Structure 1
Amino acid sequence: MENNTFKIEQIMNALSKSWSLESSSKWSKYNPAKGQCGVTTLVVNDLLGGEIKKTKLPDGWHFYNMINGRRHDFTASQFIEDILYMDIPSNREEAYKDTNDKQYNYLKQNVLINLDTLFISW
């Protein structure tokens, strides 16, 4: 369990360093997680597996990961208000509708680079 927590923290750090206008057109330096939920959920699913879940928010569907029975919302910081999670089952196809090939490939490549950098610095 502790090892999984370490991985989650390392991935969150790599995501934070990787988010940009290249991974979401809604990104800003004041709200870097904005618009990143679909693409982030896909990249995390690639790295850690688990399930993809969604919940309905006023602006549309919000995607996040369920890993080993625990909810992990890597982009929750984009919202001011608390999220009432519905944990509705979703899938890669639905989450992908929130992104495109260019954004997905950019984020995945940069997360992997940032993860390598983190582990090399150890």
Structure 2
Amino acid sequence: MEDKQESVIHQLQQILPNAWSIESSSKWSINNPAKGQCGVTSLVVNDLLGGEVLRTRIEESWHYYNQIDGKVCDLTASQFSEPITYMNIPSSREEAFSDTNEEQYQYLKSKVDKLMNKQNGEI
């Protein structure tokens, strides 16, 4: 099971930069595609792999990420120029949704599904 999860995480690392856009976060920019994508991405990762949604404080904001099989999985860490000190505070889907909205979530979920299916040879 762990190998499948690692394979999905690797696949997400490849496709998320192409899935993120202004449609998935109003903070997105071409120079920093992961910016503002943490809440919405943590929800999509949770949909695909389960695990837990965690959060940590970065400056005045919450940063959301996942924990899968006891390991931190932060696919939006690249938005920050400094290393992250993870507090691993338990969070929830509801709290992660406070960082996004239904339209952004549905957009990213759909885009990730399409890109994963395309990469896996499905149409």
TM over 0.5: yes
- Residue 23 (str. 1) matches residue 24 (str. 2): yes
Gaps in structure 1 of 5+ consecutive residues: none
Partner amino acid, structure 2, of 1:54: R
Contact kept? 2:5, 2:49, Cα under 8 Å: no
Distance 2:78 2:60 in 1: 15
The alignment's TM-score, normalised by the length of structure 2, stands at 0.95
Q: Look up the match of 1:58.
A: 59
Aligned to 1:73: 74
Q: Secondary structure at the match of 1:23?
A: coil
- Structure 1 length normalisation: TM-score? 0.95
The aligned counterpart of 2:49 is 48
1:101-116 paired onto structure 2 within 5 Å: 101-116=102-117
Q: Provide the residue aligned with 1:120 in structure 2.
A: 121
Unaligned ranges ≥5, structure 2: none
Equivalent position amino acid for 1:55 in 2: T
Kindly provide the CA deviation profile for residues 42-75 of structure 1, in whole angstroms up to 9, marking residues without a partner as x.
0100010000000011030000000011100000
Number of residue pairs aligned between Structure 1 and Structure 2 = 121
